Chain A
Amino acid sequence: QVQLVQSGAEVKKPGASVKVSCKASGYTFTSYGISWVRQAPGQGLEWMGWISAYNGNTNYAQKLQGRVTMTTDTSTSTAYMELRSLRSDDTAVYYCARVPAPYDYWGQGTLVTVSS
């Protein structure tokens, strides 16, 4: 069965970086992509971007351009999302989801807390 398992919760200081992983299983990793979606406390879903696991092509939300990098490691079927220059409003649960949309499989979510 398809599974996306994400790394554990992180606490970071403002200005730091965070890298969240999403390990896929149960399907051919390079036949799909991975998208990242975040949800601030009490807020809605925010699409962050996606990466093709086939060729590494990416598309990022304009709001995050320059601060976010999505990568994949096909040898371990793992996708990564790195967010830099963290601010308090980056505090959120970060989800990975299998691409293409619509998103039928999601990771369990990773809470990233940005606090001094």
Chain B
Amino acid sequence: DIQMTQSPSSLSASVGDRVTITCRASQGISNYLAWYQQKPGKVPKLLIYAASTLQSGVPSRFSGSGSGTDFTLTISSLQPEDVATYYCQKYNSASLTFGGGTKVEIK
């Protein structure tokens, strides 16, 4: 099975900072990569799919990039409402693994 590894597992940044989260697949998955945001006590929310396509209604400060094995989620200017845990998910095959998550906090 393909493993998905996220880093860092947690980060603390100031409001307005640029934040980058990485997700690495143990084998190539083309661009079949999604990013989800989960706020405490809430249901996960789809942010980005096909590695770089923003889901409708998601603020433009979120962006995704990458292909193959290495992917990034970037928040261009961190806002207080972005406090959440972020997960990547591969969906190139019948087995849809999630990364371990990255918890984002405000410094």
Given contacts A44-B100, A62-B1, A95-B43, contact A102 B91 (CB under 8 A): yes
Majority SS at the chain B contact face: loop
Given contacts A95-B44, A102-B89, A103-B44, 13 further A-B contacts (CB under 8 A): A44-B99, A45-B101, A47-B89, A47-B98, A50-B94, A59-B94, A62-B1, A101-B89, A101-B91, A102-B34, A102-B46, A104-B46, A106-B44
Residue A100 lies at the interface, judged by CB distance under 8 Å to chain B: yes
Which residues of chain A come closer than 8 Å to B100, judged between CB atoms?
Answer: 44
Q: Mark A21-58, 1 if CB is under 8 A from B, else 0.
A: 00000000000000101000000111100100000000
User: Chain B contact residues (Cβ within 8 angstroms of A): what range?
Assistant: 20 to 34
Q: Which of A90-116 contact B (CB under 8 A)?
A: 95, 100-104, 106-109
What is the minimal beta-carbon distance from B50 to any residue of chain A, in angstroms? 8
- Chain A interface, number of residues (Cβ within 8 angstroms): 20
Residue A61 lies at the interface, judged by CB distance under 8 Å to chain B: yes
Q: Which of B3-47 contact A (CB under 8 A)?
A: 34, 36, 38, 43-44, 46
Q: Would A61 and B34 count as touching, CB distance under 8 A?
A: no
Measured CB to CB, the residues of A under 8 A from B are 35, 37, 44-47, 50, 59, 61-62, 95, 100-104, 106-109
Q: Would A100 and B91 count as touching, CB distance under 8 A?
A: yes
